[in-house]
């Protein structure tokens, strides 16, 4: 069964200190998560001065890419459930000297998007939340017309032999990947609620980067 918020918070409190170094596990198998982060930020089409929300921002590994795109005049809002992950994000922003990063401890299911949001990013985060479809529906109705969304997720790789896909899901168990969430498809929800939708599979179908625009522009 999928984890509750309390279970996520408890597990990510334990993982917070080792989350960033733990990324080497993906690198070791040739999965270039950093390139996927960059690609997700690229498709947000941010401009200097833009406001961007990073949902489930964790330790802030997307911030360098967001900062490079929105620049110092922009606003980066990182939202996460786990205080320990946000502490790491705060440390990252302080070390880099970024004064335009705001961190919000919140459940993304109830988070209200600032009215001037230009971009909404989520990486490795939306699929863990059971009501991701509602979150995306709300984002499409609350965000201003023309705002952009980008999401990067790992997904069940349909083309892989079942045993290998099961093994990959099992390896991600410490991050909250349970059997019932591996078939969730935030990219399908993005296609339901946004326009100008594009999606690209990466790592032989085990990852997907999708993007879209809030309708009405």
Query: By CB under 6 A, is residue 90 in contact with ligand SAM?
Result: no
**Minimum distance from CB of 121 to ligand SAM (Å)?**
8
Query: By CB under 6 A, is residue 2 in contact with ligand SAM?
Result: no
Our CA angle for 166, 160, 29, nearest 5°, is 75
Are the C-beta atoms of 59 and 20 separated by less than 8 Å?
yes
Q: Which of 128, 151, 154 is nearest to 140 (CA)?
A: 151
> Among 43-51, 94-102, 119-127, 190-198, which window interacts with ligand SAM (CB under 6 A)?
119-127
**Minimum distance from CB of 72 to ligand SAM (Å)?**
22
* Strand partners of residue 121: 54, 150
Query: By CB under 6 A, is residue 56 in contact with ligand SAM?
Result: yes
Collapsing DSSP to helix, strand or coil, 208 comes out as strand
Closest residue to ligand SAM using C-beta atoms: 58
**Minimum distance from CB of 145 to ligand SAM (Å)?**
25
Q: How far apart are CA 191 and CA 165, in angstroms?
A: 24
> Among 102-110, 142-150, 160-168, 205-213, which window interacts with ligand SAM (CB under 6 A)?
102-110
Query: By CB under 6 A, is residue 107 in contact with ligand SAM?
Result: yes
Phi-psi region of 201 (alpha: psi -120 to 50; beta: other; left: phi over 0): beta
Query: By CB under 6 A, is residue 109 in contact with ligand SAM?
Result: yes
Query: By CB under 6 A, is residue 8 in contact with ligand SAM?
Result: yes
Q: How far apart are CA 17 and CA 85, in angstroms?
A: 8
**One residue of 61, 120, 190, 202 binding ligand SAM per CB under 6 A:** 61
| Interface of this chain with ligand SAM, residues 174 to 203, rule: CB under 6 A | 175
* Strand partners of residue 95: none
Q: How far apart are CA 173 and CA 170, in angstroms?
A: 5
Q: How far apart are CA 176 and CA 88, in angstroms?
A: 19
**One residue of 44, 46, 85, 140 binding ligand SAM per CB under 6 A:** 85
Nearest to ligand SAM of 5, 141 (CB atom):
5
In this structure, what token pair is assigned to residue 5? 């918020």
Nearest to ligand SAM of 11, 215 (CB atom):
11
Nearest to ligand SAM of 15, 214 (CB atom):
15
């Amino acid at each position: 069964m999928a984890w509750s918020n309390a279970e996520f918070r408890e597990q990510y409190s334990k993982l917070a200190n080792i989350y960033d170094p733990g990324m080497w596990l993906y690198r070791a198998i040739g999965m270039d998560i950093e390139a996927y982060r960059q690609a997700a930020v690229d498709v947000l089409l941010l401009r200097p001065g833009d406001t961007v929300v990073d949902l489930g921002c964790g330790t802030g590994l997307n911030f360098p890419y967001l900062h490079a795109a929105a620049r110092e005049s922009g606003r980066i809002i990182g939202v996460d459930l786990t205080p320990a992950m946000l502490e790491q994000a705060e440390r990252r922003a302080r070390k880099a000297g970024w004064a335009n990063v705001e961190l919000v401890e919140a459940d993304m299911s109830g988070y209200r998007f600032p009215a001037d949001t230009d971009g909404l990013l989520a990486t490795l985060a939306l699929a863990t939340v059971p009501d991701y479809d509602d979150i995306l529906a709300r984002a499409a109705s609350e965000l201003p017309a023309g705002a952009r969304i980008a999401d990067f997720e790992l997904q069940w790789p349909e083309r892989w032999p079942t045993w290998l896909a099961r093994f990959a899901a099992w390896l991600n168990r410490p991050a909250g990947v349970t059997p019932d969430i591996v078939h969730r498809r935030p990219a399908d929800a993005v296609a339901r609620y946004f326009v100008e939708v594009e999606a690209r599979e990466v790592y032989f179908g085990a990852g997907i980067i999708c993007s879209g625009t809030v309708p009405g522009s």
